[in-house]
Amino acid sequence: MNKWTKALLAATISASSLSVSASPAELDRVITVVNEGVILSSDIEALKKTVALNANAESLPPADILERQILDQLILEELQLQEANRLGIRIDDTRLEQAIDAIADEKKTSVAKLRESLKRSGISWSEYRDQIRREMTISEARNAQVRRRINILPQEVDSLASQLNAKNLEKVEYRISHIQLRLDEDAEKAERDAVASNAEALTKQLQQGKDFASLALANSKGPKALDGGDWGWLRLEEMPTIFADQIGNNGKGSVLGPFRSGVGYHILKITDVKGLESIAVTEVKARHILIKTSIVLSDEGAQRQLQLMVKQIENGDKTFDDLAKQYSADPGSAVKGGDLGWQTTEIYVPEFKDKVDALTKGDISEPFKTVHGWHIVEVLDRRQADRTDAAMQNRAYRMLMNRKFNEEAQAWLQELRAGAYVEQIGDADES
């Protein structure tokens, strides 16, 4: 946004013109003073062009109303730019060019064609760049100031996630299989222990892949025992409450239980699911050894040291676990033999992620360098993990953040406006 220096420059140019022409054309005028900044008539005209470019002529309000809206917006923009200046926020040319490239991509055009389109609409490329830079600066200042006003409690996230999950499950159907082991409430301890032990043993067999129908026919005392325990397709509200309470975010193939009721022990299996949106990700279990360079250890030295370790492991002279504990500079994993646990590779820095993604199970990489130092890494295993619950939590958090951000942003802007010195100097429609 323009500062007093711009206004003084415009006034100087205008005054200089008086010595050349008796009827100089007015180059620019101050319309409104906003704290230590100003809004010029050229600012209003530039925004008018942009509004006209982005809207149909028929949808525009009358000129006086449009100029009032434009002036109000420019005042708020100026206040936010002043705040950005106070915070030291700057948008360099690299970030600006990346933003313009993204805009062109979104419009499914090239930067050159975008530039030509703006030219035909009477908007210069320098004006457009300034406008985008201004919008980016304002956005960064607003984010910085508004986010610190927002507090999202874990209970809020859990509550909204539960609501979203319940709504998500309204039309979901589950095919449920059930085993019931009958146990009277007044049974002796020995009988209670025997039934509980049998329930645990059956659950373990099912988790190991034993056929559910066969076990149900042989052991269940439930109402569907002769059908192999199959209850068919049910929505949550159609199944017994004791079943529905166990479902949660469990998906196809899940074995649930054993759990107790007044009539005994129950084991459920979700044989199939219809209508459930699940999110699966690949998790990798890997381990690594990190060697950091120093004044006494060069890149070449770290690389040679790791190459020697790979040979020792391959020859059986040393184990990966022992070498990691002895030499790795990553304290968190070194004590665990370099074990990084089950993770999605997105959490790693790009070079490490690329290496882990490319390795097959049991392979040890050649030494490679990241921002942390030199590494060797071994992939121990891969698995598919259900992240539906985590995704629902993330969605709930984003929804709460968006809601509170919009509320707090309005409050922040009102506070900025209320505390600002704003004086009208001229009329925008006199230009």
Confirm if 375 and 306 have CB atoms less than 8 A apart.
yes
Note the CATH number of domain 172-274.
Answer: 3.10.50.40
pLDDT (tens digit, 9 = 90+) per residue, 180-193? 999 988 889 999 99
Per-residue pLDDT at 400 exceeds 70 = yes
∠ CA 49-53-56, rounded to 5°:
120
Threshold 0.85, pTM exceeds: no
Sequence-distant contacts of 91-99: CB under 8 A, at least 24 apart: 91/133, 91/136, 91/137, 91/140, 95/136, 96/129, 96/132, 96/133, 96/136, 99/132, 99/136
pLDDT (tens digit, 9 = 90+) per residue, 111-164? 999 999 989 888 889 989 998 999 999 999 999 899 889 999 999 999 998 888
Q: What single-letter amino acid sits at 97?
A: E
CB atoms within 10 A of CB 87: 13
Average pLDDT over residues 205-223: 94
CB atoms within 10 A of CB 389: 15
- pLDDT over 70 for what percent of the chain? 90
At residue 233, what are phi and psi to the nearest 5 degrees?
A: -90, 130
> In the chain, where does the domain assigned CATH 3.10.50.40 lie?
172-274, 280-385
Residue 367 has what DSSP assignment? P
Q: What single-letter amino acid sits at 84?
A: A
* C-alpha–C-alpha distance, residues 200 and 172, integer Å: 29
Written out in words, the top-level CATH class of the domain with range 280-385 is alpha beta
Per-residue pLDDT at 25 exceeds 60 = no
| pLDDT score for 56 | 65
- Block residue for tokens 């397709």: 233
> In the chain, where does the domain assigned CATH 1.10.4030.10 lie?
4-149+424-430
* C-alpha–C-alpha distance, residues 334 and 338, integer Å: 5
Confirm if 174 and 247 have CB atoms less than 8 A apart.
yes
The CATH fold assigned to 4-149+424-430 is: Triger factor/SurA peptide-binding fold (1.10.4030)
